Each structure stands twice: as C-alpha cells, then as structure tokens.
Amino acid sequence: MREATPLCDRLGIPYPLFQAPMAGVATPELAAAVGQAGGLGGLGLGATAPEHWAALLARYQALCSAPLHLNFFCHAPPSTDPNRDQAWLSACAPLFEALGAAVPPTLSPPYEPFSALEDLEAPLKSLRPGVVSFHFGLPRPDQMDTLRRLGQRLLVSVTNLDDARVAEAAGVDGLIVQGREAGGHHSVFSGQAEGSVHSTEAFLRALRPQTGLPLVAAGGVMTGQALRKLLDAGADAVQLGTAFLLCPEASTPPAQRARLQRAKGEKTVLYRGFSGSPARGLANRLFHHLAGACPAEVPPYPLPYDLSKRLAAAAPAGALEDLSVCWAGEGFEALRELPAATLVRALLEEARLSQGKRIGVHDA
C-alpha cells in the first residue's frame, strides 16, 4: 500500500536526491549547494555538541531557504568492561608507540547519544520545517514529539527487515534503506551486528511490499543511472554520501581526499573495529593492524572510535592516509571532483530528472 502523496512533494523539494548528512564531512555550504540545485542537503550533527548546532543552522539558513536534513546518532550508551577495554587498548598500543604518542589509559565515548539529550527545543529552535533522521536506533518518544512540533519529518536508517519493523512501529515518517554497499557506518540498531546484509536494491525490493512508508535508498550510488535504477525499483528518493566527498564544499580531510583520488582499483571493507559498529571504508594500515591484532570481542560503539580519532590526532600529516579512517561506499572509483551544484545537475541529467520531472510516483 502506497501513501498518496509523493515524499518529495510533501517535503517541498523538486528532486528525489538526498545528500547524506555526514558527520564531520557535510558542511552547511555543501548542504546549501545541494538544496539550491533542487536536492535535499544534509548535515550530520551526531558528533557535534548541541551548543554548536545553532551556528551551523545559521550558516545554512544564510545561504539557502530550502528544507534541510539533520541527522543524529541514537546508539545505546556503551557499557564499559575494564578487561575487554584494556585488551583492546593493549592491542592498539603499538600504533601509538610507533608515533611516540602516549596510549590513552581508558576507552571513553567521544560523544553522547542523542537520547541522552534533555533539552532539544533550545538548540534547535531556529530550525525550519525539514527532515530529521536517526542512525543506530531511535530517539526517545518525547524527543520524537518535540521534533514533530518543530515541523520535522522523522526518518531512520535501517539495514534489515527487523529494524525496519521496529522503526515503523515507533511511528517514523519514512525509512532510509541502507544497503551493504553503503559507505560510512551502517545503522544497525544493536550496534554489534555485522552491517547490512542485502544490496541496496535487494533490500529495497524486499522492503517495498512490506510497508507503506516512504523509502529512501542509500548505498553505492555514484551515478545518475544508479539513482534512476533505485527509483525504478520503488525508492521514493535516493541518498548519496560518498559521491559528495570530493566536492570543494565538503570538509573531507585532505588525507582522505588524496586517498580517494588515488585509490582506484582498491576495495572497501565493512569492518567493526574502526569504531565498534560496522562501517565501510578503505583498507589501510590501521585496518590491517586492528583486524590482525585486536581481540574478537570489539568494545561497543563508539568506544573504539575514540581511539581511532586519538590516533589520527597524534599522527603526522604524512601518516594520516595509513592511520585514519577513510569511509567510502562501494563503487567509489566513479566519484567526481565537482562543485556540489554541478554534481547534482549531472546526476539529475543522468537519471533523466533534469526536466523538472517529480518523483515518488508509483503505482498503488
């Protein structure tokens, strides 16, 4: 059963193209360029303290009046286990010692889950109607109520049918259907699973008959042809992350840009040890060390991520490609180094959406 009104019409955006709200990489300038070109720009606030949100929103709103897609992390607060955590720290110690850097004495979360936040109204009061999505789970019901009062449509990324059912039962307005190809973290609710098992298209086709919610497909889409294929398979919109990493408006760190530009022919890996939750990125020395030396029991997200971030902070510029995470989806070799608006226009053209055709139209 389909909702009568197409998702993008309801959101008030001309084209069914979402730029993924990527924490640390998506800037207000990137989101605004996408919004001005007719897509939905996104900002990932999962790793940003609430006192900085208003300034980011103001930067976006100064540039663009189109709706915005914000994203937050709803992982469970990580349990600590001194033996487990010390075993992880000891296995990572040689990486720090090789840099002459001190090994952190404990693992600690680099940021709080969204569900720990008490006051949402104050940091988000300037928000205009748009989209808020969640990664790694759902927020508290009262937080969902507050966001709805602020005019937000609520989406959640899911990687399997069970999590999709949980999300629908919680009353979200749509699902981001994240396939195995997706770059960055896979939104597994338990945090300990192995990531999405289905390809984006297979997952979309499996989910489509089971729900009337709008579905946004995400994972491995680098071209307009791939975007079109997912629309034809029943997606109401398609979300692209990796495709935007080389845009000048993105704050992709220089070492990761260099790596992505050069890494033709390399494979991406879906691995839990970078952060404690499965994420897809390029294999490098950090990956090979963690995968070879670390215990099978990975501390929960985001405890190991703190260590990965500290290692990158201690590394000299020349070692960063080897020692920092470089998230990327499958098919990243096709990504283009273009200003975001030019990239969006190219994607729309390739998807045969540039003539003002609106999407989300499916047979009932």
The residue ranges that bind ligand FMN (CB under 6 A) are 20-23, 25, 44, 46, 71, 133, 135, 157, 178, 181-185, 218-221, 239-243, 327, 329
At 79, list the tokens. Answer: 């349990």
Query: Nearest approach, Cβ of 320 to ligand FMN (angstroms)?
Result: 15
Angle at 65 between CA 59 and CA 67, to 5 degrees: 95
Q: Which is nearer to ligand FMN, 107 or 256 (CB)?
A: 256
Q: Are 143 and 123 in contact (CB under 8 A)?
A: no
The distance in angstroms from the start CA to the end CA of the chain is: 6
23-35 burial string, b = 16+ CB within 10 Å, else e? bebbbbbbbbbbb
Neighbour-count burial of 216, counting CB atoms closer than 10 A to its CB (0-12 exposed, 13-18 middle, 19+ buried): buried
User: Please, are residues 161 and 210 in contact by the beta-carbon 8 Å criterion?
Assistant: yes
In angstroms, what is the minimal distance from the CB of 290 to ligand FMN? Answer: 18
Are residues 2 and 362 in contact, defined by beta-carbon separation less than 8 angstroms?
Answer: yes
Which H or E element spans position 282? strand 279-282
**Which residue has tokens 């709080």?**
112
Smallest gap from residue 137 Cβ to ligand FMN (A): 11
- CA distances from residue 169 to 138, 140, 208 in whole angstroms, order as listed: 11, 13, 16
Q: Determine the 3-state secondary structure of 335 from DSSP.
A: coil
18 Cβ partners below 8 Å, 6+ apart? Answer: 39, 40, 42, 69, 216, 218, 237, 238, 239, 240
Q: Minimum CB separation from ligand FMN for residue 292, in Å?
A: 24
Burial of 77 (0-12, 13-18, 19+ CB in 10 A): exposed
Question: Closest separation between CB of residue 273 and ligand FMN, Å?
Answer: 17
Q: Quick one: 109 or 220, whose CB is closer to ligand FMN?
A: 220
The two tokens of residue 223 are: 């071209």
Q: Which amino acid is at 120?
A: L
Smallest distance from ligand FMN to CB 21, Å: 5
With respect to ligand FMN, which residue has the nearer C-beta, 177 or 341?
Answer: 177
* Cβ closest to ligand FMN, residue 27 vs residue 71: 71
Shortest spacing between CB 134 and ligand FMN, in angstroms: 8
How far apart are CB 119 and ligand FMN at their closest, in Å? 22
* Closer residue to ligand FMN (CB): 66 or 70: 70
